[in-house]
């Protein structure tokens, strides 16, 4: 089981623009992305610098173990998302933002990701249904 982080680590794309990161990293196989190099994971799904096996010098991965792409065209990355929100399913950009590292957590609080936008949309549906 996974859940939406409270509070969210990233609320909206303007936060990214304010931070002016140099690079965005995004997964080759899942919906995961981040603008923080500290989020990159070892093969065990831990932040690389905290890998208990000392694998922190290997190739950075997403929390599921997928390899990553990266781009230094951060604004282009954000814009392409904003111009095609339907790509992310019925919740549009909210699903894209939910795929940011740390916005979806396991029961024990570890960042998680999915290869399916449907998972993020289902979490948002569930949250809306649970809201009073």
Note the residues at the interface with Zn ion (CB under 5 A).
42, 44, 46, 51, 53, 55
Q: Which three-class secondary structure state does DSSP give residue 29?
A: coil
CB atoms within 10 A of CB 35: 22
Provide, rounded to whole angstroms, the least separation between the CB of residue 58 and Zn ion. Answer: 8
Nearer to Zn ion, 63 or 89 (CB): 63
Provide, rounded to whole angstroms, the least separation between the CB of residue 94 and Zn ion. Answer: 31
Provide, rounded to whole angstroms, the least separation between the CB of residue 33 and Zn ion. Answer: 20
Q: What is the DSSP letter of 106?
A: E
Q: What is the DSSP letter of 42?
A: -
Nearer to Zn ion, 49 or 79 (CB): 49
State how far the Cα of 107 lies from the Cα of 76, in Å rounded to an integer.
34
Nearer to Zn ion, 44 or 94 (CB): 44
Q: Which three-class secondary structure state does DSSP give residue 107?
A: coil
């Amino acid at each position: 089981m996974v859940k939406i982080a409270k509070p969210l680590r990233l609320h909206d794309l303007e936060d990214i623009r304010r931070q002016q990161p140099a690079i965005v990293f995004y997964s080759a196989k899942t919906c995961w992305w981040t603008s923080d190099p500290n989020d990159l994971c070892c093969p065990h799904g831990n932040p690389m610098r905290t890998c208990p096996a000392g694998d922190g010098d290997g190739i950075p991965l997403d929390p599921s173990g997928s390899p990553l792409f990266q781009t230094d065209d951060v604004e282009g990355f954000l814009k392409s998302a904003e111009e095609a929100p339907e790509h992310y399913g019925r919740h549009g950009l909210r699903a894209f933002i939910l795929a940011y590292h740390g916005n979806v957590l396991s029961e024990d609080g570890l960042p998680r990701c999915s290869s399916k936008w449907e998972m993020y949309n289902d979490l948002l549906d569930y949250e809306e249904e649970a809201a009073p």
